Chains A and B, each alone.
Chain A
C-alpha cells in the first residue's frame, strides 16, 4: 500500500497535487478513520510535528497538525496550562490534527467546553493543493469565514490540516473526585439531571452505567474540601472520595474502558436519549459531560442496532463505514465542491 511522509508544507502540497485520492493519518489511534481504502494513498503526517508558537501569557499556541498530543500537553503542563477539552487517546499516540478531524473531546469538556470551543485557527492544503488559512492566533476573532470550525469532525474532507492554533487555560491547582453509586439507572439519571442545572463548575460529570456517577472538581485546595462536602450533602451520600484522581481520569480519557471491544464508537447523546441507548446491546461504555457524550465498545450487532435505530455515531475503530448519518447534502456538498472539487479527500 503506497504511503508518503511529507515533512513540510510544500511536500504536503506536492502530495496533494500528485495523488488522486489521499487518506491523511496522524498517530493512527483511530484506525477506522486513518486506514486507507481501495485506491487511496496514505498521507502520513507524523513528520509534521512540533510547536510553532506558544505564548503562555496569551493562552494561545500554534503547532503542526502531526504533533502528538502527549508532547504538546507536556509542554503546556510545564507552564501550568492544559487543553480544556481533554482530548482522548493521548497515550495511544493521538495527534492534534487527528483529534480535530475526528472531533473528539474527553471528560473534562464538562467544565469549559469541547474541542470546537477551543480551536482558533487553521492552515490547510485544499484539494487543489492551495494553502488556505482560516481564523487567527488570538483568543477572540470574528473575521472571515471560520474554516477552522469547519475542520472539526470533518474527517479530513476539506483539506489536509498543516497548522492549528488553540486556546488553552490554566490547569486547576488541585482536583478531587467523588464517586457515588445509585440504586438504578433511573435514579442516577435523576441525580445527573439535577447536577447539570446547578452552578457547581464541575470539571467532569460522568455516568458509568448502570448507576454510578463520577464527579470531578477542580480549584484551590482550600476550597475543594468544602465543595466536596457540599456535593455530598446535596446528594445525601458519602460516596467515595479520590484524592489522587489523576491516574483514574487519564485512564478514562484514553478510553481504557473500551480495551477488548472490537468496535469503538462516539455517540452524541442526551439525557432523554440515555434510557433508549441503555436498552440497546452496547458493550462497555461511559457517558461523559453530564450525559451528552457517549463512548461505547460494541460487537457488530451493537453497531447494527445504532444504525437501525437511526442514532448518529462515529466509528473510531473496527468498522469501515464510519459516519452516520452523512452530512446534510445541500449544505455540505457545495462546500466540499469548493474546497475539494476532485474528491481527493475522505467523505463525499
Chain B
C-alpha cells in the first residue's frame, strides 16, 4: 500500500486533509513570509494515532512536522514540502491535575493558559507565560522552550517540565523524567525541551505547578530615553531585588499599544514595568526599596497599581504590543536575541542606528530583566525587496546580540528563520555534535527536517539567509 492509502486506513476522512483548500491554513505559521505545501495533514485525537502516523512516516521515509497552534515566529511549524503535518490541537485534554502533588499531566495540544485556568481553584498556576499563552500549545512550548515575562526568576518551559512521553522519529515510545522535582540519571526530558521537534513528538507532558503568589506590586515608570529605562533595570538588580518581571517598551510600541487597547500609558520615549511578587509582608518591604531605587533613576512619572484591575491595565498594553505593532505596518519580523543585561543600552543604540541605515522602522518591547530583546522590524511585503531588507536588518541585529556575548534567541527558537545564523553563535564542532545526535535518533532525517541545523535541507526561502558552513556539510 502507498503512504496515503495507509494513512486513510488510520484516519477517518474528516481527520485526514489532502485537498488544496484544506491544506492552505497549514502552509505557514506566524512567520508568514515562509510557505510550504505539505502532502497531507492529519488531526490525531489520541497518542496512539500519533505513534502510528510516525511509524508510517518512518516506514515510507516521509518527513513530518508536528504542529500545535502554529504561532511559531521562526518558521518552526512550517511544513516540509511533500511531507506530513501532525496537527495536535485536538489532543487537548488535561489528563490529570493533582494539586497535592503540584503537577498536571497534559496532552500536547493543551493551550498554555488553560493549565493555569484549571489550576486556579487550587491556588496554583503554570508559571511560563509567553504572550501567546491564550493560543499556543504546550507541545509547541516544549519544542521551543518558550519563555515569557517571568523567566529571570522562574525559568523557562524546561524548568517546569518534569516528564515527557515521546515518540522518537523511528516510532519508539519512551518515557523521560518522572513525577518528582528531582530525578536520577541524565536529564533527558530537560534535553528534549528546546530541540524544536527534531528528536521526536511529545505525546504527554508532566508539568510542575506553583502556588500563585499572594501579593503583587506592579509599577510603571516613564523615562526620557530607552537608555535611562535600561539603566533603571541595572539599578534594580544592583539593589539586590529579584522582581518577577521587568519589561521595557519604546515609543513606537507604546503608541501602538495605546492605539490598540487604550492601556492609558503616558506617551514617552520609554516605559518600564517592574512587578514584585510574593508573600505580602515581603513584597511590602521590597516595594519600599524599589520606590527608592526608581526614585533615584530619573523617572519622569511613576504609577503603582492600586488594584488587580489597575495591574491588569498595566499588563494589557504590554501583552498586546506585538499585535498592536502589527497594525502599524502590513508586515513585521520579530527577533528575540539576548544580550547581557549590562549591554542593553549599547544594543538598543545600535539597533536604532541600523534602523536608520536600512530605512525601516524597528519597535522595541522586551524582557529587560533577562536581556531578551524583541525588536519588531516593520516592512511592507508588497514593496519589492523590502522583505529581503528587513531580513538583512534582522540578521544584523542577531549578529549584534552574539557579538555582545548573548544569544540568537531567548525563546522563539531557531526554526528555519535563524538556522543560517547558527554558525555565528556555535563553532562547527558544536553544530556537528547536534547533527550527530539528530542523526542517531532520526537516521532518515524525518522529524522537522530543515529546521535549526544549517546542514539539514535547504533554505526554503530565497531571501538573505546564508550558510557559512557550506564546505563543512558538503
Binding site for B on A (CB under 8 A): 55, 57-60, 80, 103, 105, 109, 112-114, 116-117, 126, 130-134, 136-147, 149-155, 157-158, 169-170, 173, 193, 196-201, 219-220, 222-223, 226-227, 230, 266-272, 289, 292-293, 312-314, 323-328, 330-332, 334-335, 337-339, 347
- For the complex of A and B, 8 pairs with smallest distance between CB atoms: A334-B440, A149-B190, A220-B285, A268-B180, A223-B281, A338-B436, A141-B407, A314-B184
Residues of chain B within 8 A of A219, CB atoms compared: 279, 281-282, 285
Does B278 have its Cβ within 8 Å of any Cβ on chain A?
yes
Of the candidates B181, B188, B429, B438, the one whose C-beta lies within 8 Å of that of A292 is B181
Of the four ranges (under 10, 10 to 19, 20 to 34, 35 or more), the interface on chain B belongs to: 35 or more
A-B pair number, CB within 8 angstroms: 284
Given the complex of chains A and B, what is the CA–CA distance between A136 and B179 in angstroms? 28
Give min CB distance, A241 to chain B, whole Å.
Answer: 16
Contact at B188–A331, with CB atoms within 8 Å?
Answer: yes
Contact at A116–B159, with CB atoms within 8 Å?
Answer: yes
Contact at A139–B286, with CB atoms within 8 Å?
Answer: no
Give min CB distance, B460 to chain A, whole Å.
Answer: 20
Residues of chain A within 8 A of B153, CB atoms compared: 112
Contact at A330–B172, with CB atoms within 8 Å?
Answer: yes
Contact at B186–A154, with CB atoms within 8 Å?
Answer: yes
Residues of chain B within 8 A of A220, CB atoms compared: 282, 285-286
| 0/1 string, B428-452, CB within 8 A of A gives 1 | 0111111011111100000000001
Task: Using A139-B151, A139-B370 as known contacts, list a sample of 14 further A-B pairs with CB atoms less than 8 Å apart, ordered by residue number in A.
Answer: A117-B159, A133-B426, A142-B409, A144-B430, A145-B434, A150-B186, A151-B186, A220-B282, A268-B181, A270-B179, A292-B182, A314-B184, A334-B441, A335-B188
Given A59-B237, A323-B184: A339 touches B281 (CB 8 Å cut-off): no
Binding site for A on B (CB under 8 A): 99-102, 122-124, 144-147, 151-156, 158-159, 166, 168, 170, 172-176, 178-188, 190-191, 193-195, 211-214, 234, 237-238, 240-242, 278-279, 281-282, 284-286, 338-342, 367, 370-372, 405-414, 418, 422, 425-427, 429-434, 436-441, 452
Given the complex of chains A and B, what is the CA–CA distance between A94 and B377 in angstroms? 48
Give min CB distance, A159 to chain B, whole Å.
Answer: 9
Give min CB distance, B288 to chain A, whole Å.
Answer: 9
Give min CB distance, A99 to chain B, whole Å.
Answer: 13
Of the candidates B186, B242, B414, the one whose C-beta lies within 8 Å of that of A152 is B186
Give 15 A-B contacts (CB < 8 Å), ordered by A residue.
A57-B237, A112-B153, A136-B425, A138-B371, A138-B405, A146-B158, A146-B191, A155-B185, A197-B124, A198-B211, A200-B211, A270-B101, A312-B184, A323-B184, A328-B188
Given the complex of chains A and B, what is the CA–CA distance between A134 and B159 in angstroms? 17
Given the complex of chains A and B, what is the CA–CA distance between A196 and B122 in angstroms? 12
Contact at B123–A133, with CB atoms within 8 Å?
Answer: no
Residues of chain B within 8 A of A222, CB atoms compared: 285
Contact at B440–A55, with CB atoms within 8 Å?
Answer: no
Given the complex of chains A and B, what is the CA–CA distance between A192 and B338 in angstroms? 39
Contact at A143–B409, with CB atoms within 8 Å?
Answer: yes
Of the candidates B101, B122, B183, B430, the one whose C-beta lies within 8 Å of that of A268 is B183
B430 nearest CB neighbor, chain A only: A133
Given A146-B190, A199-B123, A332-B186: A338 touches B433 (CB 8 Å cut-off): yes
Given A112-B153, A140-B151, A142-B412: A199 touches B440 (CB 8 Å cut-off): no
Contact at B159–A331, with CB atoms within 8 Å?
Answer: no
Contact at B184–A266, with CB atoms within 8 Å?
Answer: yes
Give min CB distance, B365 to chain A, whole Å.
Answer: 16
Residues of chain B within 8 A of A143, CB atoms compared: 407-409, 414, 418, 422, 425-426
Given the complex of chains A and B, what is the CA–CA distance between A152 and B190 in angstroms? 9
Contact at A293–B412, with CB atoms within 8 Å?
Answer: no
Contact at B185–A327, with CB atoms within 8 Å?
Answer: yes
Given the complex of chains A and B, what is the CA–CA distance between A223 and B183 in angstroms? 34
Residues of chain A within 8 A of B181, CB atoms compared: 109, 113-114, 268, 289, 292-293
Contact at A140–B342, with CB atoms within 8 Å?
Answer: no
Given the complex of chains A and B, what is the CA–CA distance between A33 and B435 in angstroms? 30
Given the complex of chains A and B, what is the CA–CA distance between A196 and B208 in angstroms? 12
Contact at B124–A146, with CB atoms within 8 Å?
Answer: no
B171 nearest CB neighbor, chain A only: A330
Given A142-B144, A331-B166: A272 touches B101 (CB 8 Å cut-off): yes
Residues of chain B within 8 A of A157, CB atoms compared: 186
